[in-house]
Amino acid sequence: MYRATGVVLRTYKLGESDRIIVLLTEHHGKVRAVAKGVRKTKSKFGGRLEPMSHIQLLLHEGRDLDIVNQVDTVESLAPLMVDLDHMTRGMAVLEAVDQMAMDREPNPQLYRMLVGVLRTIAVSDSPLVVPAFFWKLLSLEGVRPELDVCVRCGDTEPLVAFDMDHGGVLCRTCRSGAPISADALELMRMILGGQLNAALAAPITQASHEVSSHATRAVEHHIERKLRSVAVFERH
């Protein structure tokens, strides 16, 4: 038996009445556990095992999958998502973390970032909250993009393109990937340079959308698949 605190990333059905819960825990990394009888109306777990639930659990270590024994709610973040837009952003964050977190590999910083960004999504309307989280997530994974010099020739300007295949920005001569504006580049430098709050407070412009689309593409490049939940909010 062991105790864990974590956020539910996703759940899926198992058999007639059980559900597999995928969690990012503070000290045990990503954990998959079976919640038995959770799909019956009188489940002792109630609604405490929904995606975005921040919970404390007692888990029984199993041979293949751990078994959920007891669940206490730390906070339920889903009701804080006031509308579909906020909820979709929260789901995009869960999906990216689920794709990047390693099974049973402790990553307390990732856990803290996840709880922090979900709380921020609940209170902020900035379209940059999720993209900023994506950039920080990639930095945590060791793939922080180069933003100051051309990744091919080292020139400092003019930097006009962005290509994660090459790891960052490119000058006019070397350009590949997608174009990037000076304003979008400045926003990305703020996000990754310790001025996140200033970036989130900045007025929403075309550059915000550029940063968002680059962030999504960079995460998708890293995980080598598309993020399903992002498609929904990037269309507006």
In the complex, the residues that contact Zn ion under the rule CB under 5 A are 150, 152-153, 155, 171, 174
Q: Would the CA dihedral through 48, 3, 6, 101 be positive or negative?
A: negative
Distance of closest approach, residue 25 Cβ to Zn ion, in angstroms = 43
CB of 202 to Zn ion, least distance (A): 28
Query: Where are the alpha helices (H) located in 67-181, listed in sequence order?
Result: 84-100, 108-123, 129-140
Q: In this complex, which beta carbon is closest to Zn ion, that of residue 3 or of residue 152?
A: 152
d(CA 22, CA 49): 10
Q: Among residues 1 and 153, whose Cβ is nearest to Zn ion?
A: 153
CB of 161 to Zn ion, least distance (A): 9
Residues written for the chain: 236
What is the Rg, in whole angstroms, of the alpha carbon atoms belonging to the chain?
20
Nearest to 58 by CA among 119, 2, 120, 140: 2
Lookup: tokens for 151 = 């990744």
Q: At what angle do helices 129-140 and 182-192 cross, to 10 degrees?
A: 60
Which burial class, exposed, middle or buried, applies to 158 when counting CB atoms under 10 A from its CB (0-12, 13-18, 19+)?
exposed
Q: Looking at beta carbons only, is 92 or 171 nearer to Zn ion? A: 171
Report the nearest approach of Zn ion to the CB of residue 2 (Å).
51
- Shortest Cβ distance from residue 160 to Zn ion (Å)? 10
Question: Could you give the 3-state DSSP secondary structure of residue 220?
Answer: helix
Which residue, 73 or 173, has its beta carbon nearer to Zn ion?
173
Type and span of the H or E element at 198? helix 196-201
For Zn ion, the closer of residues 87 and 171 by Cβ is: 171
Min CB(158)–Zn ion separation in Å:
10
Q: Which is nearer to Zn ion, 130 or 171 (CB)?
A: 171
CB 40 within 8 A of CB 26: no
